């Protein structure tokens, strides 16, 4: 079993290697790893650094969805809880965007506590990435659409962690002021 600091650092390295060369939508197409770092950091803040497996899962939360990574590979390298959390938040990419969104809204209340925290942290990061200093109409429309979607998902995840609930609300308020 890896020590907590080794678990988190190895998850970060693994995520960086698997997402190498990928860019994120929004924020000037920054490296995708920045999103994973933000999600992991939000989870660390929310748990006061007390849940290394959750933070590791935050680093890895998109690896199954975006790369050739498998649940078994994650379980072998990082443990069953980490692999299960990543699998639980992985979207079915064979579905259309609308179907994936609807499934996220419907499934959010049924998620484990850890998966709910990852979902909230992910939505905070994604809303932040859509806030532009001088947004075009298209950027404002995209932000408004994403906020409405994120609020539906997060409403099914609330009540697990007051810190993340508050951070989501603050992020949405900031985003709305940019519209």
Is 151 considered catalytic here? no
Domain residue limits, the chain: 4-177
Among 10, 30, 38, 65, which one carries the catalytic annotation? 65
Residues 6+ apart with CB under 8 A from 17: none
Closest CA to 168 of 158, 140, 100, 26: 158
Q: Provide the whole-model pTM.
A: 0.97
Residue range 152-179, pLDDT digits in tens = 999 999 999 999 999 999 999 999 998 8
Residue 1 is predicted with a pLDDT of: 78
Which pLDDT value is given to residue 126? 96
Burial degree of 34 (CB within 10 A; 0-12, 13-18, 19+): middle
65 is an active site residue: yes
pLDDT on residue 85: 98
- 66, 73, 165, 169: which is the annotated catalytic residue? 66
High-pLDDT (> 70) share of the chain, %: 99
Supply the pLDDT for residue 29.
Answer: 80
Does the pLDDT value for residue 26 go beyond 70? no
Grade residue 36 by pLDDT with cuts at 50, 70 and 90. Answer: very high
What confidence category does residue 27 fall into, taking pLDDT thresholds of 50, 70 and 90?
A: low
**Nearest by Cα to 54 from 95, 13, 86, 101:** 86
Record: fold of 4-177:
Hypothetical protein af1432 (1.10.3210)
pLDDT tens by residue, 89-133: 999 999 999 999 999 999 999 999 999 999 999 999 999 999 988
- What's the mean pLDDT when you consider all of the chain? 96
């Amino acid at each position: 079993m890896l020590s907590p600091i080794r678990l988190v650092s190895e998850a970060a390295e693994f995520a960086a290697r698997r997402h190498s060369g990928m860019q994120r939508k929004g924020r000037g197409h920054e490296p995708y790893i920045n999103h994973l770092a933000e999600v992991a950091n939000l989870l660390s803040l929310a748990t006061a650094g007390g849940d290394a497996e959750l933070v590791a899962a935050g680093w890895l939360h998109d690896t199954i969805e975006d790369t050739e990574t498998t649940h078994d590979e994650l379980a072998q390298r990082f443990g069953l809880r980490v692999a299960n959390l990543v699998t639980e938040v992985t979207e079915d990419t064979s579905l259309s965007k609308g179907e994936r969104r609807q499934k996220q809204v419907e499934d959010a209340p049924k998620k484990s506590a850890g998966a709910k925290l990852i979902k909230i942290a992910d939505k905070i990061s994604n809303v932040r990435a859509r806030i532009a200093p001088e947004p075009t109409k298209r950027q404002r429309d995209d932000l408004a659409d994403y906020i409405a979607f994120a609020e539906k998902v997060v409403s099914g995840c609330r009540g697990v962690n007051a810190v993340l609930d508050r951070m989501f609300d603050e992020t949405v308020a900031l985003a709305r002021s940019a519209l």
